[in-house]
Amino acid sequence: MKVLVAAPLHEKAIEVLKNAGFEVLYEEYPDEGRLIGLVGDVDAIIVRSKPKVTRKVIEAAPKLKVIGRAGVGLDNIDLEAAKERGIKVVNSPGASSRSVAELVLALMFNVARKVAFADRKMREGVWAKKQCMGIELEGKTLGIVGFGRIGYQIAKIAKALGMNVLLYDPYPNEERAKEVGGKFVDLETLLRESDVVTLHVPLIDATYHLINEERLRLMKPTAILINAARGAVVDTEALVKALQEGWIAGAGLDVFEEEPLPKDHPLTKLNNVVLTPHIGASTVEAQMRAGVQVAEQIVEILRG
């Protein structure tokens, strides 16, 4: 059996494949032409968000039985073409949940205590003690919009911090809510009552600009908004206005409607915003888990 690893993969994942007796061929991000040349005799391909596994690539791989995506999101794989040939597609959606949750906590504390702002001022030689009055998170209300894998991880940490947890999800998991001491409410109530609102919904038609001007206006003027889901879940223009005009107090953003965020974007001019470049899943542990989970599924499938 031969596996083509077409994107950087944790060494533990490579080990899983080799221990199963598979031959591993590695080439980082080959383009379509090169990929077509490589897949002639492979049984499996592993990719990340790149390279693209197109219909042409699939047609050039007569032995292909499984495509592995280390991570979430399958938009770089032609699922229709794979299905037609009976090729299985596997991924590792839960591998980064804890990492995203921990980044969300980092953003929450950072905005609440103005850490990034203070750091910028220190580097300018300014001792900005007076401008850095913050708030504690204990006793505050955290509103989690989308109570799935990541939302649940955040709720567990929030409970340990002594925060009250409000939840909004059209498919409520009451058992998990009970476990974290969270309460399901409608979105408007969550926005009105939360001191911190964090978004963990997939980007679908129903969640495009879910947080728009009208909903931002429902939030407390002291509230913080965190978005580590997808940029387009928030109407950026409305958010900039909300932050400039003080409808809310601050925001922590890991994702943007346009990525990379353009250099002079209005968000970069605001002191009450903390920005990170889509690094929710960027931890050693998440990358290792993503690779190993995909490799293990491939071993299982190829061994039948």
Residues forming contacts to ligand NAD in the complex (CB under 6 A) are 72, 93, 96-97, 100, 145-151, 168-171, 200-203, 206-207, 228-230, 254-255, 278, 280-281
C-beta closer to ligand NAD: residue 133 or 206:
206
230 has catalytic annotation:
yes
- Compute how many other C-beta atoms are within 10 angstroms of the C-beta atom of residue 10: 19
Whose Cβ is closer to ligand NAD: residue 171's or residue 284's? 171
- Tell me which of 113, 149, 176, 278 is the catalytic residue: 278
| Cα separation, 138 vs 141, whole angstroms | 9
* Catalytic residue chosen out of the listed positions 136, 259, 300, 303: 259
**Which residue number has the CB closest to ligand NAD?**
148
CB of 103 to ligand NAD, least distance (A): 7
Nearest distance from C-beta of residue 227 to ligand NAD, angstroms = 9
Comparison of 17 and 191: residue with beta carbon closer to ligand NAD = 191
* Closest distance to ligand NAD from the beta carbon of 251 (Å): 14
Is there a contact between 136 and 158 (Cβ–Cβ < 8 Å)? no
| The two structure tokens encoding residue 39 | 């897949």
Smallest gap from Cβ 214 to ligand NAD, in A, equals 16
> Least distance to ligand NAD from the beta carbon of 207, Å?
5
Minimum separation from the CB atom of position 294 to ligand NAD (A): 15
CA 17 to CA 292: how far, in whole Å? 9
- Could you give the angle at the alpha carbon of 130 between the alpha carbons of 113 and 143, nearest 5°? 25
Catalytic one of 10, 48, 200, 230: 230
Name the residue nearer to ligand NAD (CB basis): 3 or 106: 106
What's the CA gap between 34 and 170, in Å, rounded?
Answer: 44
| Cβ atoms within 10 Å of 28's Cβ, excluding its own | 11
Q: Is 278 a catalytic residue?
A: yes
16 closest CA partner among 288, 304, 286: 288
Q: What is the largest CA-CA distance in the chain?
A: 67
Q: Which is nearer to ligand NAD, 206 or 284 (CB)?
A: 206
CB atoms within 10 A of CB 54: 16
- The Cα 79–Cα 294 span in angstroms is 17
Helix axes 11-19, 284-302, angle to 10 degrees: 20
Token output for 193: 């009552």
Between 143 and 148, CB nearer to ligand NAD: 148
Tell me if residue 23 falls in helix, strand or coil: strand
Q: Which residues are catalytic?
A: 230, 259, 278
